[in-house]
Amino acid sequence: MPEVRLSGGNIPTDTLTTTEMLESDPAKVYARLRRTTPIVRMQALGGRIIFTKAEDVQRVKTDAAHFGSYDTTTPMQRAFGGHTLMRKDDCPHLRERRAMEPALTFDPVQHWKPAFERLTEHLLDKLATHQTVDLFHAFAVPLSAGCLRLLLGFDAAGEKQLFEWANALVRGAMNGSFDPAVFAVSDRANSEMDACFDRMIALHKSSPDGSVLSTMANEDDPIAISQIRTNMKICIGGAAIETRDALLSTIYGLLSHPDQLRHCLTHNAWGASCEEGLRWIAPIQASPRVVKKSVVIRGVLIPEGETVMAVQASANHDEDIWDTPDQFDIHRAPHTHQTFGDGAHRCLGGNVYRLLAAGVALPMLFNRFPSMYLAQNSQLTFKGFAFRGPTSLRVFLD
């Protein structure tokens, strides 16, 4: 049993969990907390309060009277070179969200499918020259970078630097000690990204292409250039890593369950596999919120001013909703997972990811290589507390 003590009102404090546990096997930690202390102050996260039950996670995301996102004290503002829409609420948040939203609704996203298919076909042709490959580097990384280049609206130079930029932003946003060396890396990335955005904005104003950057730059009443830049960085910092990891987790789930893969190939059930992969291992595991007004949940007083974490990775494994939640199973009864969040800050990229994964990448990969199987001598490792996915995925293409 965890060591639990009462602190700051009646919020239990978990002192058993370590940062290494959260990096290596967070699902095990969350399963214990759902059973024992579903709302808990976690010492390993600097004393932040975390919510692990699906009902509570959804409430934190949707109860705007008690929970919000506005926060200028985190390292994120420094790391991203400005105050992003992710840390704003109400009208300021809505204004910036609406600036990029037209490019990310269902119909405009379908415009990119032929280009996504061409890129995928090119990568599959390259895979076919090998017998054994690591799908992390040979497929998921270049596919994510190439598709995001088109969708976001930057050039080939930006595509090459995409993951370098994303990693710099994420490290900077998690730089709780405000280490100058970490910010030096994100500062350099910010300068490179700003130059890329400004270069591309000039092109998009003369030749609009429906990309996110083009859409924001060509609004009748565009948001400030500083906010166009910071919110493009939100797309880069989250979408690149999230897309790569979600694809790899789903591919691994299917390869680990050949019967389910055969079902997908026979019945074109790629949508079900896409959703189960998102539920099984949420690529972004938790989301922060600030308590705007004190509230009692499950008999626990959550004080105003606290920073809390809503753990969608745990919500997606809540035993009150799913049987054997730790297992990958595309045949589950339909139920909405929380990977893309909920409420005002629900992820805008869901339409894009579903198109890429279920509409393009998964069917094209497995129809091209239906006998592909996991390399038996490779040790698969999942890592990450904030972002989570396989660190490699070696396969025989056969």
Q: What predicted TM-score, i.e. pTM, was given to this entire model?
A: 0.95
Do the beta carbons of residue 276 and residue 18 sit within 8 Å?
no
Q: What's the pLDDT at 248?
A: 98
CA angle 228/340/190 to nearest 5° reads: 30
Asked if 288 contacts 70 with a C-beta cutoff of 8 angstroms, the reply is no
Look up the domain containing 205 and give its range: 4-396
Q: Which amino acid is at 20?
A: E
Give residue 65's pLDDT.
Answer: 97
**Number of domains present in the structure of the chain:** 1
pLDDT for 69 equals 96
- Amino acid 229 reads R
Rounded CA gap, 325 and 86, in Å?
29
| Half-sphere exposure (Cβ direction) of 270: Cα atoms closer than 13 Å | 19
The upper half-sphere exposure of residue 180, i.e. CA atoms within 13 Å in the direction of its Cβ, equals 0
Q: Give the C-alpha separation, 219 to 204, whole Å.
A: 11
What whole-number distance in Å separates Cα of residue 145 and Cα of residue 158? 9
Per-residue DSSP letter, 137: I
Residue 246 CA to residue 238 CA, distance in Å, equals: 12
pLDDT of residue 244: 98
Nearest to 49 by CA among 385, 310, 387: 310
User: What does the pLDDT look like over 304-363, one tens digit per residue?
Assistant: 999 999 999 999 999 999 999 999 999 998 889 999 999 999 999 999 999 999 999 999
User: What angle, 0 to 180 degrees and rounded to 10, lies between the N-to-C axes of helices 141-152 and 240-255?
Assistant: 140
- Render pLDDT for 106-115 as a digit per residue (tens, 0 to 9): 999 999 999 9
Q: Tell me which DSSP letter residue 395 carries.
A: E
Whole-number Å distance between alpha carbons of 161 and 173: 18
Two structure tokens written together for 271: 């949508």
Q: Among all chains, which residue has been given the structure tokens 């004290």?
A: 73
Residue 394's beta-bridge partner residues?
134
What does each C-alpha distance from 162 to 37, 165, 187, 324 come to in angstroms?
Answer: 39, 5, 15, 37
Q: Say if residues 353 and 243 touch (Cβ distance below 8 Å).
A: yes
The CATH code of the domain that includes 235 is 1.10.630.10
Residue 167: count other Cβ atoms within 10 Å of its Cβ. Answer: 17
pLDDT of 4 strictly over 50: no
Q: At what angle do helices 90-100 and 225-234 cross, to 10 degrees?
A: 80
State the pLDDT at residue 5: 39
At residue 8, the pLDDT reads 42
Nearest Cα to Cα of residue 15 among 41, 39, 33: 41
Q: What is the pLDDT of residue 333?
A: 85
Question: Closest by alpha carbon to 209, among 124, 156, 151, 140?
Answer: 151
Please enumerate in sequence order all residues whose Cβ is within 8 A of that of 298, keeping only pairs 6 or more positions apart, or say none. 38, 39, 56
